[in-house]
Structure 1
Amino acid sequence: MARHKLTDSKVKALTEPGIYGDGDMLYLRVHPAGSKSWFFIYRRNGVRRELGLGSYGGPVSVNLALARRKAEEFRNMLAEDRDPYAERVTRKASRSTFREVVESYIKDAGGWTPKTIGEWRHHLLVHAAKLSNVAVDRVNTDLVEEVLRPLWAKKPATGQRVRSKIENILDFAKAKRLRSGDNPARWTGHLEHVLDEASRVTGANHAAMPYADVAAFLKDLGGEPEERCLRFTILTAVRSSEAREAHWNEIDLDKKLWTIPATRTKTGKEHVVPLSDAAVTALGEPSGGHVFASQRLRDRRPIGNGRMREVMAEKRPGFTTHGFRSAFRDWAGDCTDHPREIAEMALAHKVGDATERAYRRGSALEKRRSLMNDWAAYCTSGN
C-alpha cells in the first residue's frame, strides 16, 4: 500500500474539514473548528478499530514524522499477530503511577537501611510529590523541570539528589517495560540545557580545591582517623559519606578492592573501587569494624561529617571535602589521556543513555585502576 502521501507543508496548509490519508492506515482528520489530529485505522478479525495518535499543533504536537513512527509501531504489532487496540486497553488498565514505581524500586533494592529508604521516599515522594500520581510513562521533561526548578534556585544540593533519583526511577521503569523513550531526568545532553548550570552543587556549596594544591594538602594530614579518612576520600575520589562509613568487611586487601554496597551509594548500585597503594596505606591496620571509627565515641561508630568539616576548616578554610571529586575530575581532563567515560565511572556517574548502559555491563575495573594509580602518584609526588 502506498505511503507518505502527505508532506509537512501540506499538513500545515490543510484547513478544509475532512479526513486525509498518508497511506497504509495512517490518517489526519481536520476538525470543523480547525484543529487537526492523527489516527490509525485497521481491521482485525472483521472488526474496525480507530486509534488516536495525538494532535497536530498545540503545546504537545505530534508532527508528521512522529505520527508515521507511531503508525509503524502499530503495523509491526499487526505483523506479529498482536492487536494494538487490545494492548492499549490493557496498558491503560495496568498503568503504574510514579509513586507505585518508586515503591517497587525500593522493594527490589532489598537490604536498604531505614535511613536510606527514608531519604529516597522523602526526595521522591515529598520533593517530587507532583509526580506521585502521574502515570510513569507520562512523566516528561516539563514535569521534571517543574519539580526541580524551585529546588535548583533554593536548594541546589537537594535538587541534584532529587534529579538523580528521578532518573534512576525512570530507568527502572523503562527496564520493566513501563515506559519507553529517552529519560527526561537525564542531565548530560538534556537537562543541562534546561536548568541553570550555575545553580548546580559545584558552586560555593562544594568549593573545590585546585588539583595543583592537593599534594601539599595531603602532606599536612596526620594519622588521626578523620585525617586518614580525608586522605582516603581524596585518593579514591568517592563521596565522603561512603568513605566515613567504610567497613573492613568491604575491603579486599589482596586484590586491592573496596566494594561499596548498594545500600550506601547515592545511585543505589554497588560500586567497586580499585585501591592504589597510597589508598591502602591510608586505611591503617585492619580492626574488623569500621575502618575510620571515631575515637570520641565509645561505641566505635564512624567519624561524623561534622568532624570532617572541622578538619577542612582547620587545614584549608573555604574548601570542602566533596570538592575533591571536582579536583580529581578536572585533573583527569586537563592532565591525562584517560577517556572521559573512565573518569566518570570512577566517580560512579552514569555514562551514556539507558540503551548504551544496557549493552555495557562491565565496570572497566582495570582501566579505572590505572587512572586511580596515576591520581595517587600525582597526589603524592609533590607535582
Structure 2
Amino acid sequence: MPKKARELSAIEVKRLEQPGLHAVGGVAGLHLQVTPSGAKSWVLRATVGAKRRDIGLGGYPDTPLAAARERARETKDKIRHGIDPVAERRALRSSLLAQQVRDITFERCAAEVIRKKQAESRNVKHAQQWENTLRTYAYPILGKMAVSDIDLAHVLKVLEPHWESKTETMTRVRQRIEAVLAWATVHGHRSGDNPARWKGNLDAILPKPSKVTKVQHHKALAIDDMGEFMANLRQQQGTAARCLEFVVLTATRSNEARGAAWSEIDLANSVWVIPASRMKAEKEHRVPLSKEAIALLENMPRNAELVFPSLRGRPLSENAMTNLLKRMGVSATVHGFRSTFRDWAAERTSYPHHVCEMALAHTIKNAAEAAYRRGDLMEKRAKLMQDWAKFCDKPQPKGEVVPLRSAEM
C-alpha cells in the first residue's frame, strides 16, 4: 500500500520544478513527473494484477490538478474491476489505427492499382484508360468513400445508368472496380465479398453484355480485293507503307510490326522472332517470312535498330498506317487485314484450323489440345505464309457485265 502523501494545492503543484516524481496527494499513487528539460506530466503508480505499472494520465498544465485526480480515481476504479488500463489503451489505439487503415478511400486504392498497372503494362495507354474510365464513371460516386463501406448498391449506382447504352465501357469499369476492391481486400482495407463481382452477383441483376450490345469487329478488306490493294500499296512511298505491307505479309498485329527490331529478324533463315514482352499472349512468337517479306526487308535501310522507325527514330505512331489507308481511300482497319488473312485461309485453302490460328498467334483455348501441341508448326506455317504472299501478289479478275446483243428486228 503506497504511503499517503500530503494533498498539495494547485499553487504548490505549479511551483514543483525539481526533476523527479512528486506525490501530490488526493489519490494514492498520483505523482507529477518533472523531467530535466522542465516538461511535466501526470503519472499514477499502481499495481495491476501482479505488475507494478506507471500509468500516464496526461501532460501538465494541459491536464490540471483536479482533472488529474479525477482520472486517477477512474483508473483505479477500472483496476478494482479487473481492467488493465494500459492494455485497454493499447487495444483502443490499435483499433483506431485499424479503422484508419480501413477508412482509405476508393480513389486512393485505385491510384495504387493504376500505379501497379503502369509498372506492369507494356502499353502506357492501357493504364491511362484505367484512370480515365474510373475518373469519369466511378469517382463521382465511389471516389471519396471508404472502400470498407462500398457495397452492391453503390456499385450499381455507377453501372446501371450507362449499362445498356455504353455496355462495353461499363463492362470494363465493372472489371476495374472489382480489381480495385480486390486489392483493397488483400491489403486489409475491407473484408467480405466483392460487390463488383459478376458471376453469382451482378449477373443476377444486370443484363448479360452480349444481349445488349453488338460486337464491333475490325473492318476488313474483301479477299478478292487484296491483290489490287497490295499493288496500290507498293506504289505508296514512306515507312508507313512498308510497315503496312509487312503487316499484311506476316498477318501480325500493328504494334508487333511497328516495334520490329533488326535483332529479332534472321534473314538467312527467314524467321522473325517476336519476344514475349511485345506479344499479346506474352509468349514468344516465331513468324516464318515469305520470299516477298524477305525482299521487303532487304530493301529497307538499316540506319536504326527499328525496322520501321519514324523520322525521330521511334516506333511509328498507331495512326501512321491508319492515316495511310484513309489517303488511299481504303475502307478497312490495319487489324482488319488479319481477318482477311483468316477468311482467305479458311475459304481458299485446305490448311488445318490450328495451323491458321497459330499463324495469328492466337491462344489455344482448348486445354487438352494446348497440352499436346508442343511445337509451333513452323514448316507448315511457312508454306501457309508463302501461299498468302503469292495470293496477295495477284489481283483477282473482276466479273464483267456483258450486254446481251439485241435481237434483230
**TM-score (normalised: structure 2):** 0.47
SS of equivalent residue, structure 1 residue 238: coil
- Taking the aligned partners of 1:309 and 1:267, their CA distance within structure 2 comes to 24
- Cα deviation, 1:297-318, whole Å, max 9, x if unaligned, reads xx31122122211101011342
| Structure 1 residue 117: Cα displacement | 8.3
- Cα deviation, 1:239-264, whole Å, max 9, x if unaligned, reads 11111111111111111111111111
Whether the 8 Å contact between 1:312 and 1:319 is mirrored in structure 2 is yes
2:261 aligned to which of 247, 267, 272: 247
- 1:220 paired with 2:232, answer yes
- 1:351 paired with 2:367, answer no
Whether the 8 Å contact between 1:248 and 1:287 is mirrored in structure 2 is no
Q: Structure 1 residues 365, 201: CA separation in 2 closer, same or farther (over 3 Å shift)?
A: farther
Whether the 8 Å contact between 1:116 and 1:263 is mirrored in structure 2 is no
Query: For this pair of structures, how many residues does the alignment match?
Result: 228
Q: Give the equivalent residue in structure 2 for 1:115.
A: 124
Q: Structure 1 residues 336, 150: CA separation in 2 closer, same or farther (over 3 Å shift)?
A: farther
Whether the 8 Å contact between 2:167 and 2:212 is mirrored in structure 1 is no
| Structure 1 residue 211: Cα displacement | 1.4
Whether the 8 Å contact between 1:246 and 1:291 is mirrored in structure 2 is yes
SS of equivalent residue, structure 2 residue 210: coil
- 1:291 paired with 2:300, answer no
Whether the 8 Å contact between 1:209 and 1:324 is mirrored in structure 2 is yes
Show structure 1 runs of 5+ residues with no match: 1-98, 128-132, 134-145, 167-183, 185-192
Percent of aligned pairs sharing the same letter? 37
Q: Give the equivalent residue in structure 1 for 2:282.
A: 268
Q: Give the equivalent residue in structure 1 for 2:347.
A: 334
Supply the RMSD in Å over aligned alpha carbons. 4.1
Whether the 8 Å contact between 1:294 and 1:300 is mirrored in structure 2 is yes
1:277 aligned to which of 282, 291, 306: 291
- 1:199 paired with 2:214, answer yes
Question: Which amino acid in the other structure matches residue 281 of structure 1?
Answer: A
- Taking the aligned partners of 1:276 and 1:320, their CA distance within structure 2 comes to 23
SS of equivalent residue, structure 1 residue 273: strand
Structure with bigger gyration radius: 2
- Taking the aligned partners of 1:379 and 1:275, their CA distance within structure 2 comes to 14
Alignment of 1:154-173 (within 5 A): 154-155=167-168
Q: Give the equivalent residue in structure 2 for 1:95.
A: none
Question: Which amino acid in the other structure matches residue 292 of structure 1?
Answer: F
**TM-score (normalised: structure 1):** 0.50
Alignment of 1:9-20 (within 5 A): none
| Structure 1 residue 342: Cα displacement | 1.0
- Taking the aligned partners of 1:350 and 1:242, their CA distance within structure 2 comes to 16
- Taking the aligned partners of 1:360 and 1:197, their CA distance within structure 2 comes to 37
- Taking the aligned partners of 1:119 and 1:264, their CA distance within structure 2 comes to 19
Whether the 8 Å contact between 2:225 and 2:395 is mirrored in structure 1 is no
Q: Give the equivalent residue in structure 2 for 1:172.
A: none
SS of equivalent residue, structure 1 residue 217: helix
Show structure 2 runs of 5+ residues with no match: 1-108, 138-146, 148-158, 180-198, 200-207, 397-409
SS of equivalent residue, structure 1 residue 229: helix
- Taking the aligned partners of 2:240 and 2:124, their CA distance within structure 1 comes to 23
Q: Structure 1 residues 332, 223: CA separation in 2 closer, same or farther (over 3 Å shift)?
A: same
Q: Structure 1 residues 352, 229: CA separation in 2 closer, same or farther (over 3 Å shift)?
A: same
| Structure 1 residue 355: Cα displacement | 3.1
- Taking the aligned partners of 1:114 and 1:212, their CA distance within structure 2 comes to 34
Q: Structure 1 residues 246, 111: CA separation in 2 closer, same or farther (over 3 Å shift)?
A: farther
| Structure 1 residue 276: Cα displacement | 0.5
